Amino acid sequence: MFHTTFYLRRLHSICGLLVLGMVLFEHIFTNSMAIFGPEGLNTALEMMELIPKPIFYGLEIGGIAVPLLFHGIYGIYIALQAKNNPGNYGYVRNINFAIQRWTAWFLVVFLVWHVGYLRCYVKGVTGTPISFELLQNFFQNPIVVILYILGMWAAIFHFCNGITTFCMTWGITKGPRAQKAVGCISMMLCAALCAVTVIFMASYFMY
């Protein structure tokens, strides 16, 4: 039983950092093409359509859906057990630990809405291709824009703070100095990715 929990936790950790981390970077990169207007984003999306369908669906299921479902469901189980104030860490670590949990809960709701609406309903059920124009229309509603920025920021913070906790979990950063250094670098990455998100979201109002 102890071993099962240990390995499940390690799998959850690897899944979050390596698999979902790559998905997040790819997603931010593709979406940033909106900075170059309709042509920029639509070309990036069309290039994805060039990937042969069996490989594309294989990646969607094996590389995104399964890892996300495992990380999300096991993450809910961990979060329900969480003691929200681990006293052996500093003040900033305590706050970051709590935000890590809040962002996890927010992501459950946001990702069900985001994936359920855009990927499953719009693209899957109605067969409408996702394009700059479609998203521009979607973002006419300011509440949608705010929720999307919050959703992206939540995923970015959750991932970047996860880099710090991952390094602790796996014994990569052992002393407080190394933990602080990785903590600072990951928060700088967090700030940079959050800024990129605001810039690409703003692009929908400039063209």
C-beta of 140 vs 172, nearer to ligand HEM: 172
Residue placing its CB nearer to ligand HEM in the complex, 21 or 38: 21
Tokens representing 201 are: 């979201």
Q: Provide the 3-class DSSP secondary structure of residue 85.
A: coil
Give CA separation, 9 vs 3, 18, 36, 74, 134, in Å. Answer: 10, 14, 41, 8, 39
Contact between 11 and ligand HEM per CB under 6 A: no
Among 34, 42, 75, 135, binds ligand HEM (CB under 6 A): 75
User: Is the CB of 30 or the CB of 169 nearer to ligand HEM?
Assistant: 169
Task: Specify whether the CB–CB gap between 20 and 71 falls below 8 A.
Answer: yes
| Window 35-74: residues binding ligand HEM (CB under 6 A) | 71-72
Residue 155 near ligand HEM by CB under 6 A: yes
Q: Specify whether the CB–CB gap between 161 and 99 falls below 8 A.
A: yes
- Tell whether residue 111 is a contact of ligand HEM (CB under 6 A): yes
Task: Find the Cα–Cα–Cα–Cα dihedral 140, 146, 149, 154, rounded to 10°.
Answer: -150
Check residue 150 for interaction with ligand HEM (CB under 6 A): no
Residue from 33, 104, 135, 152 touching ligand HEM (CB under 6 A): that is 104
- For ligand HEM, how many residues bind (rule: CB under 6 A)? 25
DSSP string of 7-47, one letter each residue: HHHHHHHHIIIIIIHHHHHHHHHHHHGGGGHHHHHHHHHHH
Binding residues vs ligand HEM (CB under 6 A): 9, 13, 16-17, 20-21, 24, 71-72, 75-76, 78-79, 100, 104, 107-108, 111, 155, 158-159, 162, 165-166, 169
